């Protein structure tokens, strides 16, 4: 199965996207990339293919800085505009599929900020593959403040060794969202869901666990 290239208008500019839709798709995940990658990074491709195998279509898309070949992430207002444009394009490309949104690290956080600012039409829930709660070595919860304004189901998939989301801080954040949020911890995994060799696990096993959790959560929220 090959992903189809699409163009997503963002004001006077545009960004690229890749839609991967299996024949048995039961929902679509609007999938934003992390700050240090782009939509064609091997982890994004592997995640999209894994979700397709689980009956979940994806639309991956570029942020403007990635589209332009820059390594410096866009300021939030620009990132929010891209998230909103991608959601609008998804409604045109797959109007028959229930829509969920989120992404890896920076992409997930930009999606949640966008939703908190003004709800994205048609989105049923947000899922985060490694929510960047704080910078490495600087534990804090300021980045989670906006989550209280989101009235949707939320899924946090986080590695137990994630240096950008201390579990001592992330667990109370999830609890404070009063039942709207679910936390799935991937044992021995870091922020990128890589595991140490001495853990007895493989990166593929950690990825499969994360994708099983995401696909299962989407299934539970289709009703």
The pLDDT of residue 58 is above 80: yes
- CB contact at 8 A, 10 and 81: yes
Closest residue by Cα to residue 147 from 100, 108, 105? 108
Query: How many domains are contained in the chain?
Result: 1
pTM: 0.97
- Mean of pLDDT over the chain: 97
Q: Tell me, what's the pLDDT at 1?
A: 82
- Average pLDDT of the segment spanning 15-41: 97
Look at the alpha carbons of 125, 185, 26, 53 in this order and tell me if their dihedral is positive or negative.
Answer: positive
> Is residue 78's pLDDT more than 80?
yes
Indicate the pairing of strand 99-104 with strand 123-129: parallel
CATH number at residue 29: 3.40.50.1820
Write out the residue range of the structural domain in which residue 144 sits.
Answer: 4-220
Burial of 101 from C-beta contacts in 10 A (0-12 / 13-18 / 19+): buried
């Amino acid at each position: 199965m090959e992903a189809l290239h699409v163009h997503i208008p963002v004001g006077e500019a545009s960004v690229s996207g890749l839609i991967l839709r299996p024949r048995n798709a039961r929902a679509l995940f609007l999938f934003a990339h992390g700050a240090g990658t782009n939509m064609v990074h091997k982890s994004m491709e592997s995640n999209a293919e894994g979700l397709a195998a689980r009956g979940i279509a994806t639309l991956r898309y570029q942020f403007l800085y990635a589209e332009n070949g820059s390594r410096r992430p866009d300021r939030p207002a620009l990132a929010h505009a891209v998230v909103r444009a991608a959601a609008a394009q998804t409604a045109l490309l797959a109007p028959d599929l229930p829509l969920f949104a989120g992404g890896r690290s920076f992409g997930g956080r930009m999606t949640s900020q966008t939703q908190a600012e003004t709800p994205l039409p048609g989105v049923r829930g947000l899922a985060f593959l490694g929510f960047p709660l704080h910078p490495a070595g600087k534990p804090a919860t300021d980045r989670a403040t906006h989550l209280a304004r989101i009235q949707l189901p939320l899924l946090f998939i986080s590695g137990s060794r994630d240096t950008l989301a201390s579990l001592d801080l992330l667990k109370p954040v999830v609890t404070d969202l009063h039942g709207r949020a679910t936390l799935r911890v991937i044992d021995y995994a870091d922020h990128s869901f890589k595991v140490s060799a001495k853990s007895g696990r493989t990166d593929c096993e950690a990825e499969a666990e994360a994708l099983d959790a995401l696909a299962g959560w989407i299934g539970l929220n289709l009703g």
